[in-house]
């Protein structure tokens, strides 16, 4: 049985991906900061084997300790889904909050690096593995007031390409899925709990659901070993670009 480690598994795309990979026959290492949400998910996935790790990917030492604590039957990670990330604030650069900048760069970029570094030794030793980074259309095109978030996702895009080159000699597949507008907790976090403002983001059109992105990830990681679906841009039909959404 193959093992998949999913960061940010407590909600949204991470949670939906856990469901479809359990259905596909994977055993799962589910990570996140909200233990109770992970426990609820593990119960839902039963009887699929799961192991829970509670840590913040922004904390390098905690990340290394958590992944280093995996029991023997979960240590050899076949698939890593780097999904954990965040968006904080939506403001022009001159009005941005440095604390928001730190949260986005630490979570979206450094957190991805910390987790990948901790998981890679078992992949490189076996000369096999599959890494899927969850990026965003924001990493492909900047939009007004999205400055640092867009920059963090552009970094994910560049890191994915660099990782694919670096890990090519080890036979490790590296890929990226870049969703457009997905209705998850994303906007609620960005607007710091302002549910009304978050809801308005998705009004007037049908956005992607977390399950739509999860289905694509499942397809990517179940291809034959000689196939790497290296990059996917996934948009709702109503979206033509980062800020081009047909409403009404």
Q: Active-site residue numbers?
A: 149
The three-state secondary structure class of 18 is: helix
Q: Are 181 and 239 in contact (CB under 8 A)?
A: yes
Find the distance separating the first CA and the last CA of the chain, reported in whole Å.
46
Q: Kindly report the number of other CB atoms within 10 A of residue 223's CB atom.
A: 13
The first and second tokens of residue 154, run together, are 């552009």
φ, ψ at 205 (rounded to 5°):
-155, 170
Distance (Å) of CA 144 to CA 19, 149, 243, 247: 35, 11, 9, 19
CA 1, CA 216: separation in Å to the nearest integer?
21
Q: Are 5 and 119 in contact (CB under 8 A)?
A: yes
Find tokens 């570094």 and name the residue: 117
CA 230, CA 168: separation in Å to the nearest integer?
12
Report the greatest alpha carbon distance in the chain. Answer: 53
Find tokens 């991805």 and name the residue: 112
- How many CA atoms, within 13 angstroms, populate the side-chain half-sphere of residue 243? 7
């Amino acid at each position: 049985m193959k093992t998949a480690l999913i960061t940010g598994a407590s909600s949204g795309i991470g949670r939906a991906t856990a469901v479809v990979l359990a259905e596909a026959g994977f055993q799962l290492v589910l990570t996140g900061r909200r233990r109770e949400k992970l426990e609820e998910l593990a119960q839902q996935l039963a009887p699929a084997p799961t192991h829970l790790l509670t840590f913040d990917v922004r904390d390098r030492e905690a990340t290394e300790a958590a992944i280093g604590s995996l029991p023997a039957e979960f240590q050899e990670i076949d698939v890593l889904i780097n999904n954990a990330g965040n968006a904080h604030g939506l403001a022009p650069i001159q009005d941005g909050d440095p604390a928001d900048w730190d949260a986005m760069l630490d979570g979206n970029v450094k957190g991805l690096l910390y987790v990948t570094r901790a998981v890679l030794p078992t992949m490189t030793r076996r000369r096999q593995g599959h890494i899927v980074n969850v990026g965003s259309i924001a990493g492909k095109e900047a939009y007004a007031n999205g400055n640092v978030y867009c920059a963090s996702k552009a970094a994910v895009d560049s890191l994915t390409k660099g990782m694919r080159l670096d890990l090519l000699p080890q036979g490790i597949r590296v890929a990226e899925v870049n969703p457009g507008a997905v209705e998850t907790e994303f906007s609620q976090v960005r607007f710091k709990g302002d549910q009304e403002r978050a809801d308005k983001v998705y009004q007037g059109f049908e956005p992607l659901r977390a399950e739509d992105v999860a289905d694509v990830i499942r397809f990517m990681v179940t291809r034959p070993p000689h196939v790497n679906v290296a990059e996917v841009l996934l948009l709702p039909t109503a979206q033509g670009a980062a800020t081009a959404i047909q409403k009404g």
